[in-house]
Amino acid sequence: MRLTAEMLRAREACAGQVATFEDEWPDGVEITETVVRRAVELHLDIDWFAENFLTALALAEYNKVRAAAWAEYEKAAAAAWAEYQKVTAPALIAALELEGKDATFDRLTPDTGDNKQDVADNDSSR
């Protein structure tokens, strides 16, 4: 399949995506594995392409693989988040110890622009 910027515009692709495509392939391009890999490197939205250019049968097959890949991503992200929390929890405890037993935590309230004096008062009490 040959793809051009005009074809992307006709399917109402985002202007930024079209510009990136056009910078890389000003005369269009024949879609190959190498081109798809380059599109990924360029952060082009290949899912959008699939949804807008594949036939229903091809899209269904693509979505099966995509769903499995997404499930693996979710598992990896959950594991990474758990590790992040495991590492940052001791840092929070150490930071709380720096605040001391009588800390009021005024800085944890939303900044409405009128609590600067409260923060200054807390800082001067140390």
Q: Across residues 19-46, what is the average pLDDT?
A: 98
pLDDT for residue 126 is more than 50: no
pLDDT for residue 51 is more than 50: yes
pLDDT top residue among 122 and 99: 99
Q: Are 61 and 55 in contact (CB under 8 A)?
A: no
Burial degree of 5 (CB within 10 A; 0-12, 13-18, 19+) = buried
**For position 17, what pLDDT does the model report?**
98
**Mean predicted lDDT score pLDDT of the chain:** 88
**For position 4, what pLDDT does the model report?**
98
pLDDT, one tens digit per residue, over 64-103 is: 999 999 999 999 999 999 999 999 999 998 888 888 766 6
